[in-house]
Chain A
Amino acid sequence: MFGYRISWAQLAWFGHRASGIGVLVFVLLHIVETATVLAGPDVYNFTQGFYHNLPAKLGEVLLMAALVYHSLNGLRIVALDFWPSTTVYYRPLTYGIVAATVITMVPLGLIMVKDYVPWG
């Protein structure tokens, strides 16, 4: 598809960027939406209502997954930068972070959507 082999390092780098930009966009939106709390319960509960449905909850699961991945991959970058000898473990660390993100998101995702899924 790309005409050349994509390495895990490139995917980890791209994932870090994409998740970082995604979280930043949400943080900017979150500041505006939280500021409506100054207008009292009537307005604030109305704006929070935008989040109280299944599509928004799935978006929150995606946000959580982005944050978990960005956190773990960021810690990996810090470890490799400050303790270069850990570079030997670069490959298992990269695989481990993807696996850990998927594994933690299963229970977290189920809890996050539990009040909004049809079978909940």
Chain B
Amino acid sequence: MQVGRTIWGPEDNRRVARARGAQPRPEHGGFETVMWYFMRISGVLLVLLALGHMLIMHVLVPLGGGEINFELVVGRWGTPFWRIYDGLLLVLALVHGVNGARVVIGDYARHGIVRNLAVGLLLAVSAFLLLLGILVILFFDPSTAPAVGPMS
């Protein structure tokens, strides 16, 4: 897909992108091109989702005189809307962040065992935590959560 007018050839795209410090759009399609578009589309959605989440939890909640505790979570996750919102935020933020970290690792260790180990560790940890987060959002049920625990 050609962006802009004909004066912007692929060489200009790369040169201008490098000059301002962004990743140039990959030219040959495939996984890297898909991720290039994913980062931009998910990024725009995350501006709304992540900033919205921070504004609600860390600006509106203290303005209303509240604080984040179990009761607040029970109230929020009592409606499907906030479970869907938080689930969407979790998946988009994690995939966006992990892909960004993968690109950063690739800039410092382009090939070889160091890169493979670092990216492998990143993917393993984040896949485990993504699964954990999805399970918590799907299956949290205050009626079965133990009322008394080791802290009391």
Contacts and interface: CB of A to CB of B under 8 A. Distances in A.
B101 A12 contact: no
A43 B149 contact: yes
B54 A12 contact: no
A106 interface: no
Contacts of A84: 3-4, 8, 13, 16
Contacts of A71: 46-47, 50-51
B114 interface: no
Contacts of B139: 38
Contacts of A16: 21
Given A21-B104, A78-B43, A41 B71 contact: yes
Interface size class on chain A is 35 or more
A27 B97 contact: yes
A75 interface: yes
A90 B20 contact: yes
Interface residues of B, number: 54
Interface string A53-72: 00000001001100110010
Contact of B20 (A9, A14, A27, A52): A9
A3 B67 CA distance: 48
A10 B18 CA distance: 10
Given A28-B125, A40-B70, A45-B69, 16 more contacts: A13-B20, A20-B101, A24-B101, A27-B93, A32-B132, A35-B133, A35-B136, A37-B140, A37-B145, A39-B146, A40-B149, A41-B147, A42-B147, A60-B58, A71-B47, A108-B59
Closest 6 CB pairs of A and B: A13-B21, A42-B149, A24-B97, A41-B70, A40-B145, A40-B146
